[in-house]
Structure formats: structure tokens, C-alpha cells
Structure 1
Amino acid sequence: MKLAGYYSSGEFANKAHITKKTIRYYDEHNILKPSFVNENGARFYTDEDFARLQQILFLKYLGFSLDDIREMTMRNGDQSFLSESLQMQMGLIEERLEQMQLMKQALKEAAQAVGNGVQVDWSQMLQVVNVNEMEQKLKNQYLNSSNISARINLHKEYAANPEGWFPWLFTQCRIRQEDTVLELGCGDASLWLENRKRIPDNIKIILSDLSDGMIRDAKRSIGNDKRFHFDVMDAHQIHMPDSSVDLLLANHVLFYCENVQQVFREARRVLKPDGIFVCSTYSGRHMKEISELVQEFDDRIVLSAERLYERFGKENGAELLQQEFHNVIWLPYEDHLNVTDADALIAYVLSCHGNQNRYIVDRYRDFCAFVNKKTEKGFYITKDAGVFVAKKR
């Protein structure tokens, strides 16, 4: 019997111009599960499933493996996710175009060199046209953008504090006219996009990130704004002259750095004598209920391979900073979350840097049902984050 609002697997395959065998393969390999299976084993799909299928086919067209696609498209097909996904896919296309332009230019220069009898640096050429490396960068870029979006959205939608994190953080920076501001690890530039109207006109802002893909994302988001400059850099080696920065900002970045004290030495070097270093982090209590949740589902899951707050957190941050800075103070951001939508919490879990995908991918439906039950009456999450504000010694 035909179900209202559902497509049979044959209708679904015809709609997408692919074979039923492909649809069955995607189901068996947990890439795209049907929304309903009847007692006879017949599969049925919805328009939401079709939107996700289009995403899968698009990523396959870009050259990603099915294992990559399964990891990249695990989230449900809610409208907000679909909108974000389309934006990220447009970013992937732009990223691919930019990289292809670099390859085209490299090949053009090599052809000119050969024509002029000049020796070509083939090792450099191979680095430029390394397709496998390009595919990995595209995958990482997609995952980075998706993960940042999932984490920001959970806080934005379910925070108890009406002043969001980015407006609060901007206030703590106390930016002035004519300041030179450097942000380490700018990500997708959300801080500046959310506070754009509050940014002084006469100011220089350098957004930096270790990922050239994130810098390109930030450039596209900011657009043509002469106040902003962009640089791919490692926080351990800052591309700025001595005593040239009024405000140095590191938002949830320092605990990823291999050598935090080296970053602090670089920060002190580039700051002006009265310069300020604003760096955010959290404590061991922050978001602890989410770790407890996934451990209850499967005790093998660890959402972070390392206890990042032990590298640089609320508990030890002041002591670490005081080796290079003085007047170090902690400013807490008072907040908590009460999550009522399972999809948002699932997206957050999948965005973490741990091993969760290894144990969730084959039990994704079970995990969704588990989280749905936990969020029926609201799911309380502790937040214990804030910023250290330090002055140059």
C-alpha cells in the first residue's frame, strides 16, 4: 500500500536518476537509511531523504569516498541543517575553483618554463597539483565548517544568557578607535560578523588561522571591508613586528596549541607596551553532561581525545599566563543550556574531536532514539567558560 508523503525505493531511485541497487547499497552501508520500512522489508523515503541524497550525490561528484560522505552527512535532514549544508557546499565549490585556478597557473608557468628552456621544479609542481591532498583539504574544510556551525548553533539556540557568547566576548575586548587587533584562530569569523555594527570605523583587524581554507571562508563571509586583513599563520610564529598589536585575541584556540608558552612568548613580543591579551577557555565542568550522555550510550565513546582544558583551562590558565604577562584576571560568562531538540544535541556530539563517529555510525538510529528520550523534558548542560584578560609584562 502506498504511504502518503513517501516514495517507494523504485520511485525514489527514478526521482534521483540512479538505480535501486545504489539505493539499497546506501542503506546497507549506513549512508542513507529509509525513513520507513514495512513488515515485508519494503523501503520508503521522504522529501527530506531526497534532499540528503542530493547532498550525497553532490559530494560523490566532487570526488569524496563513500566512507568520507557517511561521516560528512550523518546529521538529520532538518531545514536549518539543509540550509547550512547548502552554504557549505557552495563554499566547497568556491574552494575547488580557487584550487583549480592555482593548478592551472602552476601548469601554465611550467609550460612557459619548458618553452623557454628553463628547468621546471617538478617537486613544487607535484605539491600544487596533488589531487589527493586537495581532496583531503576539501574534506577537512567541509568538516571544520560543519563542526563550527553545529557547536555555535547549540549555544545560540539554547543558552540561558540572553547575551550570546560573541557579543559578550566582544565587550570584554574593549576595542578602541585606531586599534590594531589580531585574532589567532579566527575560524569562520563569527565574532566579527555578529558584532559588525559595533566595530569602530578607524581600525585594523587581522584575522589569522592555521587553515588556509578557513581564511578563505572568513574572507568570503566578511566581504569587501577595508578594516579587515587576512593571514594564514601558526600561532607559534606570528607574522607581526614587535610591539605592533594593541589587542591580541585567541577564542577557544590555545588548548589546541602544542607549545602554549611559545604562543605566549610570541603574544608578548607582538603586543605594544600597554597591549592586552584576551584568551577564552573553559573548565573541566564545562558541558560535562554531554560526555556523560554518550558514555551512557556507549562507554567506549570519548568526545575529546585529550582533556584540552588541562593544556589551557580555567583552572591553570592564570598560572600559565603569569609567566609572560601580569594583571591576569578571569572574567566568567554566566550561562547554561537547556536543550529540548535532540537533533541539535546530536549534531553537537558528531562535531566533537573524539572517537564518537566510530561507534555511532552503525547505530545512528539507536543513538537518535536514545537522545530523543533524554531531551523529552529538556536536557540541562553546565557551562563554565570565560576569558582571561592579561597585560604585557
Structure 2
Amino acid sequence: MPEERHDFTTGQLARRTGMTLRTLRYYDKIGLLKPSQTNRAAVRLYSKEDVARLHKIQMLKYIGLTLTEIGQIIQDDATPEQNLRSSLQMHKEIIQSQIAHLQYVSRAIDETLGKLDRQGQQVDWDGVADVMRTIHREKDWSEQYHNAVRLQARMRLYDQFSSNKIGWHRWFFAHLGSQPHLKVLELGCGDAALWQRNADLIPDTWSITLTDLSAGMLEQVRMSLGAHSGRFKFLLVDAQEIPFHDNEFDIVIANHMLYHVLDMNRAVFEMHRVLKPGGCLYASTMSTRHLQEIEQLTQAFDPQIRVLDPVMERFQLDNGRDTLQTAFTEIEQIRFEDDMRVDEVQPLIQYMTSTPMNARKVLVGAKLDQFTSYLKEKIAEQGSIYITKDTGFFLARKTGIRTRRDRDDTEH
């Protein structure tokens, strides 16, 4: 039995949502929100998917985006409108990021006011300039929204189609062990998914420091961890200059981040330096075979399309040992056994257009329609598309003390 439709006229939608008729008609006029259908009496009708899209538009307006930016997002975003839970969660995360940024700005202003009070008429113009930079930093909420959509698309593909149902974060965390009274440092914690997805497993006696290059990200993580945030310390840190004493941590974590560091050798030396003798570095990455079928599919369709970011080739499972050997002598590689069998087109396309490469710019309009048909034919022929997942980590143990001079001698 087909699902019963619940359509609304413009007036009914206005009353149901609190929007004005004028606003709804304007959205229709500019193509931002057009009714899904018109009945025999020429009455324009909005579906429940239209209502979800209207919600998205209003949330993006609340975030501070212009109607032009919203229109571009609505056009580019292939996320099904009926996935309201996913949309709400994403909007919540963006708002939390805004709140975190404003709190960071507020503290910067307070610090500057304090300096002015102490200095009297002597104005610290460098401090004022720092506040101005802080206010303007990370303010492109349109780009942050796009990034959130893209990250969500990648996670959705993994969560929906991965064969290994344990999941990367649970598997990786299990290898950290549960020994009590450890000091743990994570470099480049990002959204701290490792800790959010394992909050129930963290030993009570661990002392954990989460670091990132982005102050706004750290504030967002603090809020996202909620009641668990008191378990952590948060610090702005560059992996190339770790601001801790020698031999301070039992565990250092670099989870899918080393390939982004400009001077990896320097970062590796720094991680070795802050580890205690016998301490362990957990440096995760993937191999060049990871998701290779995705690149092969797009290349067969159009050799100009690129999906996978080559930056990860700087530190991957096939060459990462060489990088770590500049400071560590005891290194073990541990792989996560997994793969995907994808039998739906849209999640795959959403992944492809979520990466920093050119797929999202090339796969538009008629080209996107042709590519969609191409993938549907592949799935019809094979039943599903097999995709390799080849991720893991290097477990590097500190067995001795190496100085900066030792490192320099090795490099030369």
C-alpha cells in the first residue's frame, strides 16, 4: 500500500511553520523552495520533503548565511530531505561551532580589557590586532556547513556499507588498552569522535589532553563532549612544536592526521620526545589501496575526475614506517580488516563529491545524470560495487632517548 501523502497549501504551510505568505512566495519566486506539485485547481502544494527543506533554509539563515549561499547549498546538497534527524544534528553542530567561536572571541576581548586596565593609557596595539584576527578567524560558516555536509556524507557511507560492524573508532580505541593511571595526548583531535564514540570505555584514572590547531574546534569539542568534557584538558598545539616536557606521556595518538603536517620528521621527533621510556605512539592512516575502486570508477567514466586526496600518500601504511624510523626503532603495523559492498548510488555519489578534489565541481547537471546512470548500470550488473578499505595504525614504542642531534645526524 503506497504511503499516504500529506501536502500543504501555501497558507497551511505558513500557519504550520509561522512563516509569512510573502516569504514563502518569495522563496518560490527565486527558486529556493518551489512546491512539489500543483493540483487540478492550480493550488500549489508542499510535501513533507518540502517542509524539511524549509527547515533547512531557516536553519541556514539562522547560522547567518545569505539566501544566495543557501541556494547554492540546497542545489549542491544531495542529502535526502527526509533524513531530518541527520539534518538537525548537523545544524546543531554548526551552531555549537558558532557558540564556541563567540566564547573564544569573548575571552580574547576580556584578556585585552584586562591588559588595558593594567597598562592604563598605554595601549597594547599588538593585543588589539590579535583580537581583530580572532574575531575574523573561522567566520566562514558557509564553508563550515559545506565541510559538515561532506564529513557526514563520508561517515554515512562507512556506517551504512562497511562489513566490519565493530567500526573503526571502537577497534582503534580497544588497542589503547585499559591500564590505569596513564597520561594520554592526542594531537589533531578534530571532532574528537574517538572519545565521543568510546566515552563508556575510558578508564576513570586516565589524564587526557586533546589538542588541535584550531581554537574554535577545541571549543566545539568541549561542548560536544558535554558532561564528559571534565575528563579532558584542551590545548591549542602544533604537532611540530609540542609544548610539553620530555618523557611526560604514556600514550601519544596521531589519528589520521600526520599526512597534513608540513614537517613530519620534526613532528615525529616531538612525539618521541614527550613520550615516557616504554610509552607508545599510535599513528593511524590508510594505504594507497584504500577506496581504490572509487577512483577507478570515476576515472573509467571521465579520466579528468579526481576523488581521493593525494595528501595521504605522504604518510600511509606502505611508507609510514620509514617516517617513524627517524625517531623510533620498535614499530609494529596493525591493520583494520574491512571492506564495503555498496548497492545504492546516492551514498556513493555523495561520498565522491564530499572530498577536497574536483569531483563535486565536475559532477553537476547533465554530467551528474550521466554518471548516476553509469553507476546504476554497474550495480545492476554486479549486484553491488566492492570497495577496498585498507586502514590501520603504526604502534611505535619508545625504547630509548634520542636527542635532536641524533635526529639531525640521521637526516644527514
TM-score range, shorter chain: 0.7 to 0.9
Task: Tell me if structure 2 keeps the 8 A contact 1:277–1:390.
Answer: yes
Query: Matches of residues 175-254 of structure 1 in structure 2 within 5 Å?
Result: 175-225=178-228, 226-254=230-258
Report SS of the residue matched to 1:181. Answer: strand
- CA separation in 2, counterparts of 1:35 and 1:246? 58
- TM-score, normalised by the number of residues in structure 2: 0.79
- CA separation in 2, counterparts of 1:259 and 1:188? 23
Letter in 1 for 2:389: K
Task: Tell me if structure 1 keeps the 8 A contact 2:61–2:67.
Answer: yes
Seq. identity, %: 35
Deviation string, structure 1 residues 17-75 (Cα, Å, up to 9, x no partner): 32534334345xxxx6775799xxx9875322332233223323433245644248613
- CA separation in 1, counterparts of 2:358 and 2:44? 30
Task: Tell me if structure 2 keeps the 8 A contact 1:102–1:128.
Answer: no
- CA separation in 2, counterparts of 1:170 and 1:110? 40
Is 230-239 or 343-352 further displaced after alignment? 343-352
Matched, 1:380 2:386: yes
- CA separation in 2, counterparts of 1:114 and 1:171? 50
- CA separation in 2, counterparts of 1:314 and 1:57? 44
Task: Tell me if structure 2 keeps the 8 A contact 1:188–1:214.
Answer: yes
- CA separation in 2, counterparts of 1:67 and 1:326? 55
Q: CA RMSD in A?
A: 3.5
Partner of 2:58: 57
- CA separation in 1, counterparts of 2:112 and 2:279? 46
Partner of 1:156: 159
- CA separation in 2, counterparts of 1:119 and 1:98? 31
Distance apart, 1:284 and its partner CA: 1.1
Task: Tell me if structure 2 keeps the 8 A contact 1:280–1:386.
Answer: yes
Partner of 1:170: 173
Distance apart, 1:101 and its partner CA: 4.7
Is 174-183 or 87-96 further displaced after alignment? 87-96
Aligned length: 382
Partner of 2:408: none
Distance apart, 1:301 and its partner CA: 2.6
Is 189-198 or 4-13 further displaced after alignment? 4-13
Partner of 2:263: 259
- CA separation in 2, counterparts of 1:358 and 1:21? 28
Going from structure 1 to structure 2, the CA distance change for 1:206 and 1:375 (only over 3 Å counts) comes to: farther
- CA separation in 1, counterparts of 2:38 and 2:287? 45
Partner of 1:20: 25
Partner of 1:46: 47
Partner of 1:275: 279
Is 156-165 or 274-283 further displaced after alignment? 156-165
Report SS of the residue matched to 2:317. Answer: coil
Report SS of the residue matched to 2:243. Answer: coil
Task: Tell me if structure 1 keeps the 8 A contact 2:10–2:24.
Answer: no
Partner of 1:300: 304
Partner of 1:94: 96
- CA separation in 2, counterparts of 1:350 and 1:343? 11
- CA separation in 2, counterparts of 1:313 and 1:37? 54
Distance apart, 1:122 and its partner CA: 4.9
Distance apart, 1:298 and its partner CA: 4.4
**1:285 maps to which of 263, 282, 289:** 289
Gaps in structure 1 of 5+ consecutive residues: none
Going from structure 1 to structure 2, the CA distance change for 1:120 and 1:49 (only over 3 Å counts) comes to: farther
- CA separation in 2, counterparts of 1:231 and 1:109? 17
- CA separation in 2, counterparts of 1:25 and 1:144? 25
Partner of 2:410: none
Deviation string, structure 1 residues 194-250 (Cα, Å, up to 9, x no partner): 222222111111111222232223212222334322122121122221110111111
Letter in 1 for 2:96: E
Letter in 1 for 2:199: R
Task: Tell me if structure 1 keeps the 8 A contact 2:251–2:275.
Answer: yes
**2:336 maps to which of 329, 333, 338:** 333
Larger Rg: 2
